[in-house]
Structure 1
Amino acid sequence: MHDRLHAPAVAAQIPMGAEDNFWGVVDLVTMTAWDFKADDKGMTYPEPMDAIPEEFIPVAEERRQMLLEAAADCDDDLMEKVLMEEEVSVEELKAAIRKGTINCQIHPVFVGSSYKNKGVQELLDAVVDYMPSPLDVPPIKGVNPETDEEEERPADPKGPFASLAFKIMTDPFVGKLTYLRVYSGSLDSGSYVLNACKDKKERIGRLLQMHSNNRVDIDSCTAGDIVAVVGLKDTSTGDTLCSEDAPIILESMEFADPVIDIAVEPKTKAEQDKMSIALQKLAEEDPTFRVSTNHETGQTIIAGMGELHLEIIVDRLLREFKVEANVGKPQVAYRERPGKEVMGAEGKFVRQSGGRGQYGHAVINMYPQEPGKGYEFENKIVGGVVPKEYIPSVDKGIQEALNSGVLAGYPVEDVRVELVDGSYHEVDSSEAAFKVAGSMAIKDALKKSNPVILEPVMNVEVETPEEYTGFVMGDIPSRRGLIQGQEQRGDAIVITAKVPLGNMFGYATDLRSGTQGRAVYTMQFDSYEPVPKNVQDEIISKAGGNA
């Protein structure tokens, strides 16, 4: 841990036994031993043994001394006692470890086995003993939606209520569960709160204290609590729930856009509704998971942050929701972007087929925007050449058309559009006609703009033994990757690179075979970047589009 993580780790426990023969721990703070031999999967709290087994005493005493010295570096009073070789009480040692943990001077390490819940109770006790409480951190900050001024909410049970919805789950028995972290004030079941992000009132149904998969009904909660709420209809992950008379919007969580998608189809028509409901529930739980429909093929498309992410989603769909579905191969979520600005692009929709006809005419200017700026629409009509009531329809038509680009049908992003001219017919014009005209105008602009296809590029970090550095350094460029640097981390070499996601499929298997399973890697989304011309032509060909 010191070498690979550069962390000031110090043992707070030592194991008795290892792997299949792991049966207990020695707590170095209290110098007691705990026996986990009872096969109850951690459902009961083990009793401490009468004494530490003799074969573990020497290493326990050595490690306790190391723990004392590390804790003493964080507390002057304890340092004096250690130097004077005086007796140190359990309370004094715990206080010093807590101080060092909060200040990130030491990281106490505990041992256990999650498979049979060995050591889990002791770990949770350590969380209470050593991790910072709400009183140890500064007050949470947010913005008052009425004044746009920054405000604070100290961890005070008597203060105005403020909480953050940080997780949503679907429970088969009680339905939708919204997990709240309460930062300030108190909350009673049956009361009403304000969703400040959506400006909607929500009624608190039941309040639940969660113990893994066990639930306990409670009447109220206060600052510092984490609770689950039943009955919230409009609250999403990242929303702020607060008092109506003291509104505040806490800093929300930011979620990246999905970069990979796959098609899923129910095996039978009877499964269609079941699958739709299941996907809707999964999307509520996970803001980085999206569900859409391909309007050309009618397929349901699910999108996520990577292969493993979608594998887990599909597994839950089959296992938890019992949906029988066929799953396609993962596809990269490409985007399109205009290559240059286009002035005076035109869309004119005229239809005459007896009786009242259809007429809509829009002229636009289109500008590429900086990455991440998104879509903007500006009405620059003067003289009423396009009546005000038709302007939103033009905007709507443009936005719908941007969902499918002209190169390969991928969504178009980072576009600013100005509606500058047009015409109308007093009898034949309608909202529907101007919506079509807006769609035609943006399609015309995109075709003239030399559009490009964008691909998701990932930040990749590979940690490998030195003897396999050559393999990794040679493999990354073959995937159109750009190596950013390398550094020594303990006995390993860490290589950082930017690699297109489309070239990372199957990388885990290739890396494992090329390094005899000794290298590991992580990756996360960095940005969307234009693809080379030859790659763009290949993508267009596969999508059946036109270059």
Structure 2
Amino acid sequence: MKTYDEKHIKNVVLVGSAKSGKTTLAETMLFEAGLINRRGTVEDKSTISDYHEIEHERGNSVYATSLHTEWRDYKINLIDTPGLDDFIGEVASSIRVCDTAVMLLNAQYGVEVGTELLWDYIDRYQKPTIIAVNQLDSDKANFSQTIEEAKKFFGPAVTVMQYPLNAGLNFNCIIDLLKMTMYKFPAEGGKPEKLPIPDSEKGTADQLHNELVEKAAENDERLMELYFEKGNLDEDELREGLKIGMMKHQVFPVFCLAAKKDMGSGRLMGFIDNVAPSSVDMPAELLENGKEAPCDPKGPTRLFIFKTLVEPHLGKLSFFKVISGEVSVGQEFTNEKTSTVERLNQLFIADGKNRNAVDKLKAGDIGCTLKLKNSYTNHTLNFKGASGSIAPIKFPHPKVRVAIIARNKQDDEKLSEVLSEIHMEDPTIEVEYNRELKQVILHGQGELHLSLTKWRLENIYKMQVEFIKARIPYRETIQKAANSSYRHKKQSGGAGQFGEVFMKIEPYFDGMAPLKEFPVRDTETHELAWGGKLVFNNCIVGGVIDARFIPSILKGVMEKMHEGPLTGSYVRDIRVSVYDGKMHPVDSNDISFKIAGMMAFKEAFHQAEPQLLEPVYDVETTVPDEMMGDVMTELQSRRSIITGMDNRSGFQVIKSRTPLAELDKYFSVLRNISQGRAKVSIEFAEYAPVPGELQRKLTEEHQKELATESH
């Protein structure tokens, strides 16, 4: 295979909502370039890109798939990404390493829910962007409306470079405003005929061409001067201006496609070759220490792993970008994170499940290798002369959670190891070994994401696992002050145990007045690891309890705060004042006062109107207008408080505060309500009181569990 230099390698990521046609476009681009002899289809499960068994089962992309095509002396590395929010981690890593994003919009639906999430990553990394309006051959295709929505969403940078002459079932013509030519395609698609623009379209084409020229000129002073001087720009000058504008994120060229019929993809590839930037044109990558790592073919060799995948019968595949230098088979690299040495025994260019062996790859290229021992996603491999780690990809926070158990208890240790490996491969899956809830919790982007993880465990790692409902991390507190005392006395021959403690407890809040009822000798404020505070006042006077026993009383109180009396949950926001007590000159010791402190606290807690608190989240649900009523009804059935509504780019944004206990299955229900066109983001807001009836129910359930355990 030909080795391309850094100026002739273009890295392109295909992004867009589900069913926008990314996989079909990738297949068509490979066919156009002659890399495949026939085009597969998603329906027939025969595409180069969607090749995993789970993708065949679901009928859409689950993984980001690396491909490549060669077009007119350029190599285009393509990454076809999933369109569902559940797999946004795959999209985030792909956007990070590519130099141009092609945003596909379905001409039937325009800018869909979920586009915002994709755009967040494109905008964060300031990736040059091409907007491709696809499926113009559909009966509901509406190019004008799609462009109107795109300008509303993406802003004035949206720049029409092509428009369809007859969008719909009879679509076969594209007016190209850069070349001022009409492309007419045969009914079955393929190579178009180049024709003059019809007289009926000249007025529209001239107007849009002038807008294109102005957009290209305004990004560079020299081009602006040429434009004022000549009143126009030639094709090469237009390309230069468009490239500058794309690099500044001020021009998003619009292309027309009917990818399934192979209409428009060749022109898109030509533009990628001639105008889209290569890695050497892009700003340097940043290292974690703040220094720059430019794409320099003569610099020290540095690789950045952006994706890790374990495949059955093959092992671990590591996908990387050559940040600088040149990588060859047999080279040894140092992993900057683990300080281990990795030898690259094989190098490949990936085309779906097909891997093409190569001897070397140059700066800016994307490749993969097999069976690295200690290297995973976000790791940097440095050759001699290179040092420092590339700043990591920032993955989104998880949205859903579930508890996981191995069906065979003997697999518990193995499950722990496998989950750790899965997290290293897919950082958007987070594994939490929660001591408070006594569960292993999996956190992911959605129910589909978690289901995929289960599928991988069972099909790749051959482990039988079960998902069960994750417990809720409740908190306990009190609503009023209460006093109590407890005497611990134990006599069993010889030295016994004796300690008596008088205690007052109160609800604590920041800024509350100091205690006046008793003289305070000493105050300790403890920031609790689980949130909230414990304020502990030592009010002992006259030596009724020796000062050396006060820490033991605090220890007893703290132990009970780890396991509250209502549901066994952590206790928070309480002020404890120890104001009296008794001790014995022989029998008093640390354990006696620890027990007395614990039991005095427990008794006072029950008298102080205990209150159970639950975690509540700010939930933002974005849906099409016509589905807002159904979503509102669903939220209100989940004890949600609607806090606001907003209109954003033609969609309704419903803001609510919803208890975590009510978010279980919300995402899958919402997907059914909205036919997959809704988007949700969640963020922890606060701990809030649980309704009285629910508190009684939860307390009773806890008491039954304790009774069962005691038997």
Query: Is TM (by shorter chain) over 0.5?
Result: yes
Distance change >3 Å, CA 265–CA 189, structure 1 → 2 = same
* C-alpha distance in 2 between matches for 1:482 and 1:537: 22
Quote the residue 1:369 is aligned against: 529
CA contact (8 A) 1:196 1:239 kept: yes
CA contact (8 A) 2:611 2:690 kept: no
Quote the residue 1:140 is aligned against: 285
Q: Deviations over 1:476-517 (max 9, x none)?
A: 566444555544445555444444454345656876898xx6
Alignment-mate amino acid for residue 231 of structure 1: K
* C-alpha distance in 2 between matches for 1:303 and 1:170: 20
Quote the residue 2:370 is aligned against: 230
Quote the residue 1:197 is aligned against: 337
Question: Once the 2 structures are TM-superposed, how far is the Cα of residue 113 of structure 1 from its aligned partner?
Answer: 4.9
Question: Once the 2 structures are TM-superposed, how far is the Cα of residue 167 of structure 1 from its aligned partner?
Answer: 0.9
Distance change >3 Å, CA 192–CA 338, structure 1 → 2 = farther
Quote the residue 1:433 is aligned against: none
* C-alpha distance in 2 between matches for 1:523 and 1:187: 42
Alignment-mate amino acid for residue 183 of structure 2: A
Which residue of 241, 251, 269 corresponds with 1:106? 251
Quote the residue 2:306 is aligned against: 166
Instruction: Name the SS for the 1:109 alignment partner.
Output: strand
Which residue of 687, 702, 705 corresponds with 1:530? 687
* C-alpha distance in 2 between matches for 1:539 and 1:524: 28
* C-alpha distance in 2 between matches for 1:128 and 1:454: 55
Instruction: Name the SS for the 2:318 alignment partner.
Output: strand
Alignment-mate amino acid for residue 109 of structure 1: V
* C-alpha distance in 1 between matches for 2:379 and 2:394: 11
**Paired residues for 1:9-28 under 5 Å:** 9-15=158-164, 18=167, 22=171, 25-28=174-177
* C-alpha distance in 2 between matches for 1:55 and 1:510: 53
Instruction: Name the SS for the 1:206 alignment partner.
Output: coil
Quote the residue 2:402 is aligned against: 261
Q: Deviations over 1:435-462 (max 9, x none)?
A: xx9xx99xx89x9799976647254142
Distance change >3 Å, CA 124–CA 169, structure 1 → 2 = farther
- TM-score (ref. length: structure 1): 0.63
Question: Once the 2 structures are TM-superposed, how far is the Cα of residue 281 of structure 1 from its aligned partner?
Answer: 6.7
* C-alpha distance in 1 between matches for 2:639 and 2:405: 30
Question: Once the 2 structures are TM-superposed, how far is the Cα of residue 248 of structure 1 from its aligned partner?
Answer: 0.7
* C-alpha distance in 1 between matches for 2:281 and 2:564: 51
Instruction: Name the SS for the 1:110 alignment partner.
Output: strand
Larger CA Rg, structure 1 vs 2: 2
Quote the residue 2:662 is aligned against: 503
Residue 218 (1) aligns with residue 378 (2) = no
Identity, % of aligned pairs?
A: 26
Distance change >3 Å, CA 251–CA 481, structure 1 → 2 = farther
**Paired residues for 1:384-423 under 5 Å:** none
**Paired residues for 1:262-411 under 5 Å:** 263=404, 282-290=422-430, 302-314=442-454, 321=460, 328=467, 331-332=469-470, 334-335=472-473, 367-369=527-529
CA RMSD of aligned residues (A): 5.3
Distance change >3 Å, CA 246–CA 263, structure 1 → 2 = closer
Distance change >3 Å, CA 310–CA 469, structure 1 → 2 = closer
* C-alpha distance in 2 between matches for 1:108 and 1:542: 60
Question: Once the 2 structures are TM-superposed, how far is the Cα of residue 100 of structure 1 from its aligned partner?
Answer: 1.3
Quote the residue 1:389 is aligned against: none
Instruction: Name the SS for the 2:194 alignment partner.
Output: coil
Q: Deviations over 1:373-417 (max 9, x none)?
A: xxxxxxxxxxxxxxxxxxxxxxxxxxxxx9x9998789999xxxx
Q: Deviations over 1:511-546 (max 9, x none)?
A: 6898xx699542234237425333566566667756
CA contact (8 A) 1:481 1:498 kept: yes
**Paired residues for 1:34-183 under 5 Å:** 35=185, 38=188, 46-51=190-195, 54=198, 57-58=201-202, 60-79=205-224, 88-113=233-258, 119-120=264-265, 122-143=267-288, 150-172=290-312, 174-183=314-323
CA contact (8 A) 2:671 2:678 kept: no
- TM-score (ref. length: structure 2): 0.50
Distance change >3 Å, CA 510–CA 55, structure 1 → 2 = farther
CA contact (8 A) 2:474 2:613 kept: yes
CA contact (8 A) 1:275 1:323 kept: no
CA contact (8 A) 2:162 2:256 kept: yes
Distance change >3 Å, CA 451–CA 172, structure 1 → 2 = farther
Residue 462 (1) aligns with residue 462 (2) = no
* C-alpha distance in 2 between matches for 1:250 and 1:72: 35
* C-alpha distance in 2 between matches for 1:62 and 1:167: 45
Instruction: Name the SS for the 2:241 alignment partner.
Output: helix
Structure 1, gaps ≥5 residues long: 40-45, 145-149, 341-364, 373-401, 414-436
Question: Once the 2 structures are TM-superposed, how far is the Cα of residue 234 of structure 1 from its aligned partner?
Answer: 0.8
Question: Once the 2 structures are TM-superposed, how far is the Cα of residue 7 of structure 1 from its aligned partner?
Answer: 5.3
Distance change >3 Å, CA 524–CA 118, structure 1 → 2 = farther
Instruction: Name the SS for the 1:250 alignment partner.
Output: coil
Alignment-mate amino acid for residue 69 of structure 1: E
Question: Once the 2 structures are TM-superposed, how far is the Cα of residue 131 of structure 1 from its aligned partner?
Answer: 4.2
CA contact (8 A) 1:114 1:120 kept: yes
CA contact (8 A) 1:264 1:301 kept: no
Q: Deviations over 1:110-129 (max 9, x none)?
A: 23356677655554554454
* C-alpha distance in 2 between matches for 1:197 and 1:183: 17
CA contact (8 A) 1:3 1:489 kept: no
Distance change >3 Å, CA 249–CA 281, structure 1 → 2 = closer
* C-alpha distance in 1 between matches for 2:244 and 2:328: 34
Distance change >3 Å, CA 509–CA 216, structure 1 → 2 = closer
Distance change >3 Å, CA 226–CA 523, structure 1 → 2 = same
Residue 8 (1) aligns with residue 166 (2) = no
* C-alpha distance in 2 between matches for 1:406 and 1:511: 37
* C-alpha distance in 2 between matches for 1:408 and 1:7: 56
Distance change >3 Å, CA 230–CA 512, structure 1 → 2 = closer
Alignment-mate amino acid for residue 690 of structure 2: K
Distance change >3 Å, CA 475–CA 34, structure 1 → 2 = same
Question: Once the 2 structures are TM-superposed, how far is the Cα of residue 311 of structure 1 from its aligned partner?
Answer: 3.6
Q: Deviations over 1:98-150 (max 9, x none)?
A: 11111122211223356677655554554454444334444333246xxxxx4
Question: Once the 2 structures are TM-superposed, how far is the Cα of residue 68 of structure 1 from its aligned partner?
Answer: 2.9
Count residues in correspondence.
449
